[in-house]
Chains A and B, each alone.
Chain A
Amino acid sequence: MCVSRLDAQSDSFEELAMPLFDQLYNFARWLTQNREEAEDLVQETYAKALKGFSSFQLGTNFRAWMYRILRNTFLTSRTGLRATMTVSLDSEEDGPDLAVEGATPETILIERSNHALVQGAIDELPVHFREILLLCDVEEMSYQEIAGTLSIPIGTVMSRLSRARKALRGCLQKQLPTG
């Protein structure tokens, strides 16, 4: 009885988790910035998630749960610790930046549709900014899902996202020729 329950769980785990494989790998690679480390991270995430699947709370979001495991695993890894030590999270109170005037990184980017520039700028961001930007814009998570994934309140999601975008614009601005 007990065995059959466990097996039923691992079957449904695989069926729920494998469709997320590509996107989790993409996220892991952005976090670690290294292929081998990303593979190890994804592998460890799946192992941990499978082990903890029986404690996965039904009704909470499975995708957010997987991302949360991946991220926590990353944060406790050597690369993760190094990445978070180099950045201090300032106050979360910072408001969004104000109006955009004249030639902007955005318009130039769209004109050139230069992915490499944006990718370089995302790579430069501190990991807390990189992850929230990816969860929102690439994974298209709602603020609520992001809050669950990062274990932070929605208000913090909004302020951190705003600061991440401001930082990204700053990075791009530096890379673009003036004018």
Chain B
Amino acid sequence: MGCEDWKLKLDAYVDGELQPEEMRAFDAHVRGCPSCAADALARLQMKRAVQAAGKRFAPGAEFRKRMQERMAAKPRRSSVGFAWMWITATAVVAIVAVAGLTASYEGRERVRAQQVYSEVADLHVATLASASPVDVVSSDRHTVKPWFQGKIPFAFDLPELQNTEFSLLGGRMTYLDQTAGAHLIYELRKHRISVFIFPEGSVRGRLNANSSVTKELSFSMETWSRGGLRYFVIGDAGTADIDKLARLFKSTGS
């Protein structure tokens, strides 16, 4: 690729929007090309200057108070299940923690993975907080799986749960970055665990293909990629339990 082609991608390079392999190729090119290196540096400096200058206005104390009062004036009910409240609160802490992380350009890749994690955590929490978390209510995988036919652009296998502590509650359609996917809800000793399946394209470049377990969001989450699909298992159960369910999925249909 010639210099002119690279120049067209400079902004995407500086914004961390290139695919990982392209990013590596660009890094290599920049090391040997003073013109592109200078241009990239200038753009990065400008980006940082805008970033610093852009954080300019903070709401006044009075306005903040007024808004808080407005929000607090909404009718509330204390009968909202304690568990859901707890889960929602945990998610908010997680979201705030993630927001706090959006600091440096260098940390962008990590932040992007965090964004995916926090979106998945949102999906999990928002669904459980809903009065009707599942659209297909069934413990039978042979009912749940066909329900997704024609609704999502891929097929997947559900594990056999006999002799395990997990039970399937049902499933629903969901979306991640405008991409349709499957959301399955399992129960394990009163813990609800979500399994999300999306085409890998919806998170491409933002997550590592290898299986990874994280506890950073106060939820246990395991994610991996297989056969062009991206799986997430998330819940407030322990990492060992999350991993058990993840293993069941990994051992299906291969």
Contact = CB atoms under 8 A, between A and B. Distances in A.
A165 B174 CA distance: 36
Interface in B105-123: 108, 111-112, 115, 119, 122-123
Nearest to B107: A140
B175 A58 contact: yes
Interface in B23-47: 35, 38-39, 41-43, 45-47
A169 B121 CA distance: 39
A62 B122 contact: yes
A14 B119 contact: no
A12 B71 CA distance: 11
Nearest to B131: A5
A7 B76 contact: yes
A96 interface: yes
A115 B245 CA distance: 51
A3 to B, nearest CB: 7
A143 B47 CA distance: 15
A43 interface: yes
A25 to B, nearest CB: 4
Interface of A: 1, 3-5, 7-12, 14-19, 21-22, 25-26, 29-30, 35, 38-39, 42-43, 46, 50, 57-62, 95-96, 98-100, 104-107, 109-110, 113, 115-116, 118-119, 122, 133-134, 136-138, 140, 142-144, 148, 158, 161-162, 165, 168-169
24 contacts: A10-B74, A11-B85, A16-B95, A16-B122, A26-B55, A38-B57, A42-B63, A59-B119, A59-B123, A59-B174, A61-B177, A96-B10, A105-B46, A106-B49, A118-B49, A136-B15, A137-B50, A138-B54, A138-B55, A140-B51, A140-B102, A144-B177, A161-B11, A165-B11
Given A16-B95, A100-B38, 6 more contacts: A7-B75, A12-B129, A59-B123, A59-B176, A119-B54, A138-B54
Interface of B: 7-8, 10-12, 15, 17, 35, 38-39, 41-43, 45-60, 63-64, 67-68, 70-71, 74-77, 79-80, 84-85, 88-89, 91-92, 95-96, 99, 102, 108, 111-112, 115, 119, 122-123, 125-127, 129-131, 174-178, 181
